[in-house]
Amino acid sequence: MIADKTGNPVLIDPQPSAAHVLNLDTLTWEISAEKQTELFAQQKEGLLNKLADKADQLKNSLLAGYPQTEIESFYRQEKEALAWQADHNTPTPMLSQIARVRGVPLEMLIEKVIEKSAQFAVAIGIIIGQRQAFEDRLLALKTPDDLIALEQEIEQWQFQTN
């Protein structure tokens, strides 16, 4: 509540954002062009962070069911598998132990590792490409309405092959 020019109390809406300033002549909240530009840039940056988080969520959904220890071994498994594929005399300490303990032939395990690695690379490539396409659109936005529309699209973004 605030007093108008005649001293009468007037109920005003809450301040919409820290960037808004009360116009004492009209008793309305206004935002300068400079503040609008600054606020829009902050909103774009915030959406860029949400976009990165969403990409991480999608990647994590692909890894659901794998323990962290196994996830951390993927690079090593792929490296050993590709090296063995190029030269069957290459030592494969991790894969040899996995195959031995599981009771499966090393060759079969190596095929599976390479196959899953390729599938994961494709899936991650899709997620990265989609995230970068959203980022390109985000950086080109000119209006808050466009930002809101893109934010809704990002919130609904799900992993899908193109």
Residues 69-95 pLDDT 10s: 999 999 999 999 999 999 999 999 999
- Hey, how many other C-beta atoms are within 10 angstroms of the C-beta on 51? 20
Residue 123 resides in a domain: yes
Question: Is 133 inside a domain boundary?
Answer: yes
Q: Residue 115: enclosing H or E segment and its boundaries?
A: helix 106-140
pTM given for the model:
0.79
Task: Write phi, then psi, for 56 (nearest 5 degrees).
Answer: -65, -40
Q: Give, for 109, the enclosing helix (H) or strand (E).
A: helix 106-140
* Tens-level pLDDT at each residue, the chain (162 residues): 788 788 888 888 899 888 888 888 888 899 888 888 988 999 999 999 999 999 999 999 999 999 999 999 999 999 999 999 999 999 999 999 999 999 999 999 999 999 999 999 999 999 999 999 999 999 999 999 999 999 999 999 998 775
Range of the structural domain that residue 104 is part of: 41-156
Number of domains into which the chain is organized = 1
Query: In DSSP terms, which residues pair with 10 in a beta bridge?
Result: 2
